[in-house]
Amino acid sequence: MVPSEYGVIVALLLVCLVALILVSIARREAAEQRSRAEIDVAEIKDEARSLLADARRRVDEVTAREHAVRAAEREAAERSRTAEARLAAVHDAEVSLARRTTEAERSTVEVLEQVAGMSAEEARATLLSRLQDQVANDGASLVRRAEVKARRTADVRARRILSTAIQRIAAPTSAQSVVSVLTLPSEEMKGRIIGKEGRNIRAFEALTGVNVLVDESLDSVTLSCFDAERREVAQIALEALIADGRINPQRIEAAYEDALAGADDRTIAAGHEAAERAGVRDLHPDLVATLGRLRLRTSYGQNVLLHLVECAQIAATVAAEVGADVDLARRAAFLHDIGKARPAEIEGTHALIGAELARRAGEAEPVVNAIAAHHDEVPAATVEAVLVQAADAASAARPGARREELDQYVERMDRLEQLVVAHPGVRRALAMSAGREVRVVVEPSEVGDVALPGLAVAIARHIEADLTYPGEIKVTVVREIRASATAG
């Protein structure tokens, strides 16, 4: 062979060998891939079989549940039909029972009407009337028991508190009159006061406007004047003249000028002294001066400034007993009548005028309210304002604190009795205990026992609205039935 042919053959053989190797490799890879694919297919088939079995199981469960639900629905429908049937039977029974009840009631009413001799409407009206009377009697009994209990507990506590406050103060009575009495050191001083042919006493009376009364049987002289300021100036001047011993028209004029010039100082000193006694501090100078002027003011003979000091002490003591603000109650009670010192030209009541004066002087609003409310002209906003009213009434009602003229007293008693008699059903009214109590006798045929508490309250409210009086007025209503017979 030619060498070149040999090389070609070798090359072909090599190519064939390589081709065989590649085919073998390809076949092996194809077999491996086929094997893996067969494994994957088997796994997928297994998984599909499992899913199919699970789906079939779930379908079976749903089918079973559907059957159960349908069975429950059929049972519920059966029960509903049974219940409706029973409800219809009950309704029929109720209708029948109502018909029988109506027939029985009609028969009963007819029998009762025949036995009682009255119709159903008359019986109903009689029963209703009796029930109303019974309810009214029960209500009145409850009201009376509640009032008695409240009055018993409240009266005991109020008496204890007020008696404690008043006894701790133990202030003297402060009734005053329109005269001032000066004690003379000797009988000779009367002649000096009168002067030669009465010139000294005439000069003194002309200058001061005060009447001088000299009693020969007494070692004293009396100064008489309705103007308290003039009487005080005259008293100061006469005391200075008596102390000096030299009394003549010139000395009288000088003493009068000195007494007149010192009026403002005496006013301020009196205001400070009263505030100190009452325990009230840090007052505005205008309030102090106004309070000082009240030393010359009286109400029913009671000195207003002494009344304010006493009220402040009572209010503070009561406030301490009940747990209220002691300082507020003391201050408001001390200032509550300050409006009485203002001139008559200023319009308004003394309570409202005093409240405005206190407001301008910088007093706190609770103090202003207590001053304005102490005669109920405005509502009381605090407990201390109510305590001021109580202290005012306690001070005014103290025995001997105030006095009245006989004609005023009689007029007040008449007005009280006439006001009470004006109420329907009142036969007679009798004012007792200096007007502190009124007994009311009613007509038994017009006023029943149930109406007595209401009538007493109505009379009390009428008195509060139409009368002005110190303290309290107790209203007692009496209903009395008397029966008598004569055996012959």
State residue 415 phi and psi, 5-degree precision. -60, -40
Q: Identify the pLDDT of residue 235.
A: 85
pLDDT of residue 175: 46
CB neighbours (10 Å) of residue 53? 10
Mean pLDDT of 71-76: 86
For the chain, give the percent of residues with pLDDT over 70: 83
According to CATH, the topology of domain 406-478 is GMP Synthetase; Chain A, domain 3 (3.30.300)
CATH architecture observed for domain 179-261: 2-Layer Sandwich (3.30)
What is the predicted pLDDT for the residue at 171? 52
Residue predicted with more confidence, 364 or 480: 364
Mean pLDDT of the 11-36 span: 83
Count other Cβ atoms within 10 Å, centred on residue 78: 10
Residue 226 exposure: Cα atoms within 13 Å on the Cβ side: 0
Give the CATH number of domain 270-397; options: 1.10.3210.10, 3.40.50.2300, 3.20.20.150, 3.30.1330.10: 1.10.3210.10
Give me the sign of the Cα torsion angle 291, 294, 299, 302.
positive
Mean pLDDT within 400-428: 76
What local confidence, expressed as pLDDT, does residue 160 receive? 61
Q: What is the mean pLDDT of residues 54-71?
A: 86
Which secondary structure element, helix H or strand E, spans residue 248, and what is its range?
A: none
Q: Which of the two residues, 372 and 399, has the higher pLDDT score?
A: 372
Q: Which residues have CB under 8 Å from 349's CB, separation 6+?
A: 339, 375, 377
Q: Which residues contact 429 (CB under 8 A, 6 or more apart)?
A: 416, 417, 420, 421, 438, 439, 440, 441
Give how far Cα 238 sits from Cα of 53, 204, 223, Å: 137, 9, 10
Q: What is the pLDDT of residue 331?
A: 92
pLDDT tens across 370-383, in order? 999 888 888 888 88
Structure tokens at 5: 């042919």
Q: ∠ at Cα 247 (244, 252), nearest 5°? A: 100
- 329 in Cβ contact with 316 (< 8 Å): yes
- Between 391 and 434, whose confidence is greater? 391
Q: Helical H runs in 299-382?
A: 304-322, 326-335, 350-360, 365-372
**388: pLDDT strictly greater than 80:** yes
Structure tokens at 463: 């008195």
pLDDT at 187: 78
What's the average model confidence in pLDDT over 91-112? 76
Look at residue 390 and tell me whether its pLDDT is greater than 80.
yes
User: What SS3 class is residue 27?
Assistant: helix
Q: What is the pLDDT of residue 173?
A: 46
Q: Sorting pLDDT into bands at 50, 70 and 90, what band is 367?
A: very high
Please provide the size of the chain in residues: 488
Residue type, 211: N
What are the residue ranges of CATH 1.10.3210.10 in the chain?
270-397
- Indicate if the pLDDT at residue 115 is higher than 70: no
Task: Summarize pLDDT for 188-209 with one digit per residue, the tens.
Answer: 887 888 888 888 888 888 888 8
The CA-based angle 379-385-391, given to 5 degrees, is 125
User: Is a pLDDT exceeding 70 seen at residue 151?
Assistant: no
CATH 3.30.1370.10-classified regions of the chain? 179-261
Res 365 pLDDT > 90: yes
Residue 162 has pLDDT above 70, yes or no: no
- Residue 205, by phi and psi: left (phi above 0), alpha (psi -120 to 50) or beta? alpha
Q: Can you give the pLDDT at residue 11? A: 80
Residue 371: the pLDDT is 92
The mean pLDDT of 466-486, rounded to a whole number, is: 79
The answer to whether 413 and 435 have CB atoms below 8 angstroms apart is yes
Give the pLDDT mean for 134-160.
68
Which residues belong to CATH 3.30.300.30 in the chain? 406-478
Distance CA 15, CA 28 (A): 20
Nearest alpha-carbon partner for 385 in 401, 372, 395 = 372
Kindly report, residue by residue over 168-192, the tens digit of the pLDDT.
554 554 445 566 787 888 878 878 8
Q: Is the pLDDT of residue 329 over 60?
A: yes
pTM, two decimal places: 0.51
Residue type for 162, please?
L
DSSP letters for 439-484: EEEE-TTTS-TTTHHHHHHHHHHHHHHH---SS--EEEEE------
The neighbouring-strand residues paired with 220 are: 183
pLDDT at 330: 92
